[in-house]
Amino acid sequence: MFCLVALPSISFFISNFGGKKHQLNKTLNPKLRRIWTTRDWERKISVFSVFFTRLKDHHLLTNHSKSLCVGARVGQEVEALHRVGVLDAVGIDLVPYPPLVLKGDFHNQPFHNDTFDFEFSNVFDHALYPERFAGEIERTLIPGGVCVLHVVVKGMADKYSANDLYSVAAVVELFRCSDLVGVREVDGFGADTEVVLRKRKGGCGNG
């Protein structure tokens, strides 16, 4: 089950802006891309499939959910969605990996408002502008749509990270049009916490 948590009124993260070029260094690293598409391919798909199956079991994701993976690199999470039955799924990243991943900046998603039922990301720590990252997810989610983030709270993010997160509250506060559904611990390729939010059907009021 998800754990509902009481969030402190004050929480923060410190941004370390390295610029888009710094983020591209990881995505374009030939050694990493070779690992992602060979040795890590099935392993990551298997783990993501477990995460997504659990979300389906909790009625937060269905086979009919139009889904987006934000910052998907080579698209293991997109392929995992396909394998668990969510066929209308695609990813975006600065570097495309067709057909699973389209070219797109998560600070300025190339989609219309209210497009997706479900969005997933495990790259919040790479957001140079966290408010834009959250705002674009909320803009492109339909009212009632679900956002799932895997974030690093307890450990250290990698050297490519643009921000350091000290509390789940810092993330939740950015999603001004959404309500917190739940928080739980995960073990997801460096991420240790899953945060689930749902976009309010009534807009950006107080829910």
- Assign 3-class secondary structure to 5-67: CCCCCCCCEEECCCHHHHHHHHHCCHHHHHHHHCCCHHHHHHHHHHHHHHHHHCCCCCCCCCE
DSSP conformation class of 79: H
pLDDT in tens, 133-174: 999 999 999 999 999 999 999 866 555 566 667 789 999 999
pLDDT in tens, 68-117: 999 999 999 999 999 999 999 999 999 999 999 999 999 999 999 999 99
Cα torsion 148, 149, 155, 159: sign:
positive
For residue 165, the model assigns a pLDDT of: 78
What percent of the chain is modeled with pLDDT above 90?
Answer: 66
Average pLDDT, the chain: 85
Is the predicted pLDDT of residue 43 greater than 60, yes or no? yes
Closest CA to 126 of 161, 151, 152: 161
For residue 167, the model assigns a pLDDT of: 87
Cα R_g (the chain), whole angstroms: 16
User: What helix, strand, coil percent values describe the chain, rounded to 5?
Assistant: 30, 30, 40
For residue 162, the model assigns a pLDDT of: 62
- Is 143 or 33 the better-scoring residue by pLDDT? 143
For residue 4, the model assigns a pLDDT of: 44
The count of other CB atoms within 10 Å of the CB of residue 162 is 23
d(CA 110, CA 137): 11
Question: Which CATH superfamily is 13-199 part of?
Answer: Vaccinia Virus protein VP39 (3.40.50.150)
DSSP conformation class of 99: T
The answer to whether the CB of 190 falls within 8 A of the CB of 125 is: no
pLDDT in tens, 62-73: 999 999 999 999
For residue 24, the model assigns a pLDDT of: 61
Task: Enumerate the domain spans of the chain.
Answer: 13-199
